[in-house]
Amino acid sequence: MLETSWWWFFVGSLLDALIGPNLFFPGEPFLLAAGYILSSGLFYGVLSVLAGGFIGDQLSYHIGRKFGDRGRRWLSQRIPKTRRPIARARLVLRKKGPQIVTAARLLGPVAWIMPFLAGSYAMPWLTFTLYSVIGLLLGVSQFVLAGYLLAQGVELLPDLTTISLFIKEHSLLLAAITIASTASLLLYRYQGWKKWLRIGSCWIIVMAGANYFHFFISDSYAFETGAEAERLESRAVSVEELDYTVFPGLAPVYQPQPINAIVIGSTPQTLMDELGWIENKTFSRNEMTFKGYLGLLAKDLPPISDLYWNQQPQWLAYQIAGDLVNRRHIRWWYAGIDTQTQQNIWVGSISYDNDLKVAHYKGIITILHAIDPDIDIERDTLAENAAKAGWHVSYQRLGSPVAYSKSRHYFSDGQVAILSRAQS
């Protein structure tokens, strides 16, 4: 069952109701999620979306009350898609003010600007508050009910757990886009080329701040260690049944990378030490400060970005000495006990960094290394060096052959190198 902190619901509903952000921020997923957790007896989601919607409506009303005609003119000039809703809302406000405030949340785009217009046309505050609360209850209830029914097994919508995971993982990015977009709207009033310089600088500063918060302050890399211990004790698997893809995040929206190496009967630490690989720090496994990060850069040992296999970040990460752009690196995950040999199985993903790129990674837009598309070369090099060091090497087609494309930034024959300590 999905559980999320109350403020996720509150902020999502607030931005959905607040004039400006609500023109591009969808609040429906938060309302659906509130109904989803309501099915298990958790009321805080519903209370949070109601509180967020109420405060957002009130702020929009008072913004309209303060800026009035000037605000309407600015909104219609700068955001042309609001002209039709404004004209429609003005007409119905004059005819049936209280009724339309009540029904606004059921009328699509009208809901975006109705509280703002009610304030700008000086509707009495008590009248607005009374009828907007009724409308809020009606508008929120329809989505809460849909989320509740979904949790009970009525398949009306896509998997809400996946939607919620995406929103949770991308919440910082959504907040950064909201802040930068709002600031850009305000900066757009400046005429001449300088406004674009200000807007561009605004986006760079906000995104840089989001990256700093993501990597060095937030709990984005917290994970449960209990599941790992349980798997160590009891998970029995065969190499044929394992999943051979890993992802740079948890939500199912990222480009995959392959598992292309397996160690059986030993730990990767032994192999890595014998072949001269250097253990890397990662954000999920190590406490990382900005000062410590700069120190690692100075040593040409930047942290390896996290990849996720079966919702778990890598247990171990290594690299062959290189520079800040070019390096061989490999990540390892513990997979369980082999059903035939009763020995430990570790799966690994090896590749070669040869460039930098702007990447979608773990719910953020950031700068990461880009890998050489021919990952099979690195797999084969690892296998050859392991054989020279006395390891037994074999190949098995456990993955699927992959061609380079927009959705796959590598190509491979699907073979996996299986490494085990040669018996003496």
Give the DSSP per-residue string, 93-121: HHHHHHHHHHHGGGSTTHHHHHHHHHHHT
Q: What pLDDT score does 193 carry?
A: 62
Give Cβ neighbours of residue 80 (< 8 Å, ≥ 6 apart). none
Which 3 state secondary structure label does DSSP give 256? coil
Count Cβ atoms below 10 Å from residue 100 Cβ, excluding itself: 22
Taking residues 346-356, what's their average pLDDT? 92
E strand or H helix at 226: helix 226-234
Percentage of the chain with pLDDT > 70? 84
* H-only helix segments in 277-363: 290-298
The predicted structure's pLDDT at residue 156: 44
What rounded mean pLDDT belongs to the chain? Answer: 81
Mean of pLDDT values over 72-80: 68
The predicted-structure confidence for 30-58, as pLDDT tens digits, reads as follows: 878 888 778 777 788 888 888 988 998 88
72 versus 329: which is more confidently predicted?
329
What is the token pair recorded at 383? 């296998």
According to the model, what pLDDT value does residue 141 have? 82
Is there a contact between 74 and 80 (Cβ–Cβ < 8 Å)? no
Q: Which of the residue ranges 114-128, 157-171, 310-324 would you say has the lowest mean pLDDT?
A: 157-171
**Could you report the per-residue pLDDT of 392-412, keeping only the tens digit for each?**
999 999 888 888 766 677 888
Give the span between the Cα atoms of 133 and 113, in whole angstroms.
16
Of 82-91, 167-176, 311-320, 414-423, the one with minimum mean pLDDT is 82-91
Going from N- to C-terminal start, the domains of the chain cover: 6-169, 226-421
Residue 294 has pLDDT above 50, yes or no: yes
Residue 227 has pLDDT above 70, yes or no: no
